[in-house]
């Protein structure tokens, strides 16, 4: 059941420290190496490039994951499953289907196409024995526990965490792979992630933020690098459960078109979690000049006070992990906004938890 929570979504958001501990449990050794029992050393010796296929929230996790693979020197792309094309698949392709349910028709059909074209395949999924898990050559479980709310929350965090582990394992097998320079720090911080998430959950002011901007008519989300998939995910979650107009952009793209949409009736959630904060600041300032309210997600409130109307604080951590903390703040903003609007949060109109048609 939902326990003390009004909705499964809020319960699942609050479960994230535990579900992540589960995802990571036993998979990182004391000396900072990754141990995935599914994949003994050498499993991927023949692989030359990696492609992710996924839909919706899982696609955003896949984009984040592809960036993490690139950090370890691996050629990786992420494609929306319904747009997948096998033209560049060879027998050295590793195709990774990311799907919480393991039953999404678009994803399964892309997975089959990849197999037919000769790729080796992995399903990264939450559901043991799901179609994706059965059909792919290998299954890697995210171990997030059952997710009831239609809006994917804790499974996004567990997907991304799992893909960062997989990135490290692949970097050991693939010829072009190299360990991250900051390997030790990265894995130490990854293991601290559940603790940081609890800190966000305990201190978040997202409810007040939701209330403050209820009368706006457009909600934009911007970020760069791994904040970009989080911006897409923030906007998807927001539109899915509030039914308000929301869009996510790469920060740098704002000036290439979307800025025309920005008015005093807009809010721009801007992420400042990585090393490119100075550039995002300029983008946010442009929106601020057009009268939009800026909500900055940052570990350093002092650096944004000149243009940010509101701050959502996250603990300081490794930039590749900070996107996940920002995402939790955005999940909470979407939840509380939808709750204030009295939406049917766990079962938004027109949507299904598992989309079994193409």
Residue 328 sits in the site that holds ligand M6R (CB under 6 A): no
Q: What are phi and psi of 248, to 5 degrees?
A: -110, 140
Name the residue among 202, 187, 178, 232 with its Cα closest to residue 56: 232
Calpha distance 12→332 (Å, rounded): 11
Binding segment for ligand M6R (CB under 6 A), chosen from 67-75, 96-104, 275-283, 336-344, is: 96-104
Q: Which is nearer to ligand M6R, 33 or 103 (CB)?
A: 103
DSSP output for 126-166: SSTT-HHHHHSSEEEE-------SSS--HHHHHHHHHHHHH
Site string for ligand M6R, 137-166 (x = CB under 6 A): -------------xxx--------------
The reply on whether position 58 binds ligand M6R by CB under 6 A is yes
Q: What is the DSSP letter of 28?
A: B
Which residues, other chains included, contact 266 with Cβ-Cβ below 8 Å and sequence gap of 6+? 216, 217, 218, 219, 220, 287, 290, 291, 292, 293
Cβ neighbours of residue 4 under 8 Å, at least 6 residues apart?
none
Residue of 104, 204, 270, 283 interacting with ligand M6R (CB under 6 A): 104
Q: Which is nearer to ligand M6R, 120 or 233 (CB)?
A: 233
Catalytic residue among 212, 239, 347, 353: 353
Q: By CB under 6 A, tell whether 12 contacts ligand M6R.
A: no
How far is residue 148 from each of residues 9, 101, 152, measured CA to CA in Å?
8, 11, 9
Does residue 353 carry a catalytic annotation? yes
For residue 52, the minimal CB distance to ligand M6R (Å) is 12
Contact (Cβ atoms closer than 8 angstroms) between residue 186 and residue 320:
yes
By CB under 6 A, tell whether 100 contacts ligand M6R.
Answer: yes
State which residue, 20 or 311, has the beta carbon closest to ligand M6R.
Answer: 20
Q: Rounded to the nearest whole angstrom, what is the least distance from the CB of residue 195 to ligand M6R in the complex?
A: 25
Minimum distance, C-beta of residue 106 to ligand M6R, in the bound complex (Å): 8
**Total binding residues toward ligand M6R, as defined by CB under 6 A:** 16
Question: Which range binds ligand M6R by CB under 6 A, 30-38, 93-101, 164-172, 329-337?
Answer: 93-101
Q: In this structure, are residues 315 and 325 in contact, taking their beta carbons and an 8 Å threshold? A: yes
For position 246 contacting ligand M6R by CB under 6 A, the verdict is: no
Residue 116 half-sphere exposure toward CB, CA atoms < 13 A: 9
Residue (210 or 319) nearer to ligand M6R, CB: 210
Q: Which is nearer to ligand M6R, 75 or 353 (CB)?
A: 353
Of 16, 23, 57, 226, the residue at the interface with ligand M6R (CB under 6 A) is 57
Single out the residue of 151, 222, 159 nearest to residue 23, CA to CA: 159
Q: Please identify which residue in 55, 76, 96, 122 interacts with ligand M6R, judged by CB under 6 A.
A: 55
Nearer to ligand M6R, 70 or 354 (CB): 354
- The 3-state secondary structure of 278-337 reads HHHHHHHHHHHHCCCEEEEEECCHHHHCCCCCEEEECCCCCHHHHHHHHHHHHHHHHHHH
Active site residues: 353
- Where on the chain is the footprint of ligand M6R (CB under 6 A)? 55-58, 99-101, 104, 107, 150-152, 236, 240, 354-355
């Amino acid at each position: 059941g939902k326990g003390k929570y009004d909705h499964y979504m809020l319960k699942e958001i609050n479960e994230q420290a535990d579900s992540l501990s589960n995802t990571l449990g036993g998979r990182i050794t004391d000396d900072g190496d990754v141990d995935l029992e599914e994949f003994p050393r050498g499993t991927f010796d023949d692989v030359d490039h990696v492609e992710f296929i996924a839909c919706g929230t899982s696609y955003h996790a896949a984009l984040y994951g592809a960036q993490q693979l690139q950090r370890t020197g691996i050629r990786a792309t992420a494609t929306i499953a319904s747009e997948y094309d096998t033209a560049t698949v060879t027998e050295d392709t590793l195709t990774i289907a990311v799907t919480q349910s393991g039953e999404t028709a678009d994803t399964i059909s892309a997975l089959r196409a990849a197999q037919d074209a000769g790729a080796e395949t992995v399903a990264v999924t939450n559901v043991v024995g799901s179609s994706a898990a059965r059909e792919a050559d290998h299954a890697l479980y995210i171990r997030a526990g059952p997710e009831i709310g239609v809006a994917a929350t804790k499974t996004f965090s567990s997907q991304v965490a799992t893909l960062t582990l997989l990135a490290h394992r692949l970097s050991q097998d693939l010829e072009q792979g190299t360990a991250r320079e900051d390997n030790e720090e990265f894995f130490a911080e990854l293991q601290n992630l559940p603790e940081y998430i609890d800190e966000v959950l305990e201190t978040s002011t997202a409810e007040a933020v939701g209330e403050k901007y209820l009368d706006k008519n457009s909600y934009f989300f911007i970020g760069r690098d791994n904040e970009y998939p989080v911006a897409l995910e923030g906007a998807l979650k927001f539109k899915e459960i509030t039914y308000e107009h929301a869009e996510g952009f790469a920060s740098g793209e704002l000036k290439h078109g979307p800025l025309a949409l920005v008015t005093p009736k807009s809010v721009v959630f801007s992420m400042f979690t990585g090393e490119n904060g100075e550039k995002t600041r300029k983008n946010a300032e442009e929106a601020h000049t057009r009268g939009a309210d800026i909500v900055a997600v940052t570990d350093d409130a002092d650096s944004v006070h000149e243009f940010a109307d509101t701050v959502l604080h996250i603990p300081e951590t490794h930039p590749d992990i900070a996107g996940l903390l920002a995402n939790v703040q955005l999940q909470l903003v979407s939840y509380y906004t939808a709750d204030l609007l009295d939406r049917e949060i766990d079962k938004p109109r027109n949507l299904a938890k598992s989309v079994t048609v193409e």
